[in-house]
A and B are shown apart, each in its own frame.
Chain A
Amino acid sequence: MTAEFVLTGASHSYGAGICALDGIDLTVEPGEHVAVVGANGSGKSTLLKMLDGLAFCTTGTIATAGRPLTEEALEDPAFRREFRSRVGFVFQDADVQLFCNTAFDELAFGPLQLGLDHDEVRTRVAEVAASLRIERLLDRAPYTLSGGEKKRVAIASVLTMRPRVLLMDEPTNALDPRSQVWLLDVLDEWKRAGRTVVIATHDLSAAAESCERMIVLSEEHRIVADGPPEEVLAQRDLLLSVNLVHEHAHRHGADRHVHPHAHEHEHA
């Protein structure tokens, strides 16, 4: 089976040579659930943008389903349509992703861009809204929604396109505990459905729970670990060196106690 994504020596720099990713070699197979973890600024979001064809290699190559993923390739309407319907991207900031008039319009935007029949669009919107329990939000303007509601609508807006691959940037960010559990259930459902998922996150416990593969990006923007979460998370020195956990000291009565400590949320 053709790999979903193949990155070979892929690097990306912003503007005046500010390196965001350096020499990434990565293959994502269909049906895999991959968590990309790393400190702030390690290049997680850039990697997801490259997988979604929103940022491109400055050196190296990236291919999707056997075809090069370049700016020129995406100018081909047939490829763009196939790629955009196959790969969905849930942005970290739901405010950015929700640009339509109402939540209903958000869910309908993708299918309409795919040129689907209006009845089919309505059916998809109704199905996804029911499955994510957001029917009552459909008529609301996105800016009137709470953080958790916005995240649900943002995810739903991608699901109506029925993508085979889901890219999620900090999916548990801004979610209350109940919504986090809901999201983990959704990821589990996608796993059973054989969908490919790549998530970028700080939330090591959520990553370990929802993915069978964990990739660690260093602060030098390179992959320094790639394997099952339990193996990666067992490498305490590695996690300390990439700034994913830090030594936390506190007292139990007169005794000073030191242990690794992870922050599970993106710092603003």
Chain B
Amino acid sequence: MIPALAHIGEAPPRRRGSVRSLARRTADAIGHAVAEVLENDELASGPGLMQALDPRFKLVSIVAFAVTASFVHSLPVLIALVLATMALAAASSVSVTSFAGKVWSSAGLFALLVCAPSATAWITPGAVLVPLGPASITAPGLLIASRLIARVIAGAGFGLLVIWTTRWTDVLRALSSLGVPDLVVATLAMTQKQIMSLLRTVENMHLARESRMLSTGSATENRGWVVDRMAFVARRSMKTADDVYDAMLARGYSGAMPSLIDLRATARDWAWMAAGVTACVLVLGIDRMVFPT
């Protein structure tokens, strides 16, 4: 953690029964988001199995993992893939509890909401496990929903793990090296920088308001203020975009974004790739032969 920013994101002590204002809650949430980005950079720079890999190989692995997971049909194999992502997290110094919590509460919950109808007799008829009228949960429906959820959790988990264990700057370098147009990579880089900069602005605006308020304000007042500030931030981001463009012109920008890519694959990266390909083939083989549909 960068010492000067160490305080960001720390939730202030809260009195029992106290009502925190919208300004305070928003500022805390923003501070927490900024701190998370910085902590991720710290984690990605630390020791660990996946941190040591070339980012290009990791990005290619995401595609290979997603394709493999989408071809797997058996629930046990999909669960094995989920467990594999957790094992990789542990080997990469990532807290398994935190990793599982974040993946399951975001991707898992989203998949559950999307898949829930397919578990019912209305979409998938079959033997009823939980009778709820037309929304009764059937055995084949539950299997289909479970497969989809496990597939999403496995894929999203692996993707998140790669992002957590790779510094954002290396992700962008890898994208550039893999042939993604320079303009796209530069836009991604600037977008992230602007998001961070605007987050700080919004956080300071909320804190400035908090410091001058005697009450938490009504919901209507808060909504009006938030909308007003959103307009302000939008205008400011446009002005900043103009200024950044001027700064680029001042250093000779003429439309191209050449870069110095200094990524070199090592034996470890090729071993990772070989192991990954072997694992994908094995997973698909087991899925087809041990658990035929």
Contacts and interface: CB of A to CB of B under 8 A. Distances in A.
B235 to A, nearest CB: 14
Nearest to B2: A144
Contact of B251 (A49, A93, A113, A144): A113
Given A113-B252, A113-B254, A144-B41, A105 B259 contact: yes
Interface of A: 49, 52-54, 77, 80-81, 84-85, 88-89, 91, 93, 95-102, 104-105, 108-110, 112-114, 118, 121-122, 139, 141-144, 146, 157-158, 161
B243 interface: yes
A101 B189 CA distance: 6
A85 B252 contact: yes
Interface string B231-275: 000000000100110111111111010111000000000000000
Interface stretch (B51-59, B132-140, B167-175): B167-175
B250 A101 contact: no
6 contacts: A91-B243, A91-B246, A91-B250, A141-B167, A142-B193, A157-B251
Given A49-B246, A101-B169, A141-B168, A95 B251 contact: no
A102 B169 contact: yes
B190 A99 contact: yes
B250 A89 contact: yes
Interface of B: 2, 4-5, 38, 41, 167-169, 172-173, 186, 189-190, 193, 196-197, 240, 243-244, 246-254, 256, 258-260
A108 B258 CA distance: 9
A109 B168 contact: no
A122 B260 contact: yes
A141 B41 contact: yes
Q: 7 closest Cβ contacts across the A-B interface? A: A113-B252, A84-B252, A110-B251, A89-B250, A96-B243, A112-B258, A143-B196
Contacts of A161: 251-252
B47 to A, nearest CB: 16
A100 B260 CA distance: 12
Nearest to A139: B169
A96 B250 contact: no
Contacts of A109: 251
Contacts of B190: 99
A245 to B, nearest CB: 29
A96 B247 contact: yes
Contacts of B259: 105, 108, 112
A95 B243 CA distance: 10
A105 to B, nearest CB: 7
Contact of B258 (A89, A93, A113): A113
A110 B4 CA distance: 30
Which one of A52, A89, A96 has the highest number of Cβ atoms from chain B below 10 Å of its Cβ?
A96
Contact of A91 (B168, B169, B186, B247): B247
Contact of A99 (B41, B167, B248, B258): B248
A161 B251 CA distance: 8
A77 B249 CA distance: 13
Given A77-B254, A139-B169, A141-B168, 10 more contacts: A53-B249, A80-B254, A84-B250, A89-B247, A93-B243, A101-B172, A101-B173, A102-B169, A105-B260, A144-B38
A100 B254 contact: no
A81 B252 contact: yes
Contact of B240 (A84, A96, A139): A96
A157 B254 CA distance: 17
Given A100-B189, A143-B193, A144-B2, A114 B252 contact: yes
Contacts of A91: 243, 246-247, 250
A96 B194 CA distance: 10
B292 to A, nearest CB: 48
A101 B246 CA distance: 18
B169 A110 contact: no
A85 B250 CA distance: 9
A96 B239 CA distance: 10
Given A99-B193, A113-B254, A141 B243 contact: no
B3 to A, nearest CB: 10
Nearest to A100: B189
A118 B189 contact: no
A96 B250 CA distance: 12
Contacts of B240: 96
Contacts of A146: 4
Contacts of B168: 141
A100 B197 CA distance: 14
Given A96-B240, A100-B189, A102-B169, A54 B260 contact: no
Nearest to B45: A139
Contacts of A93: 243
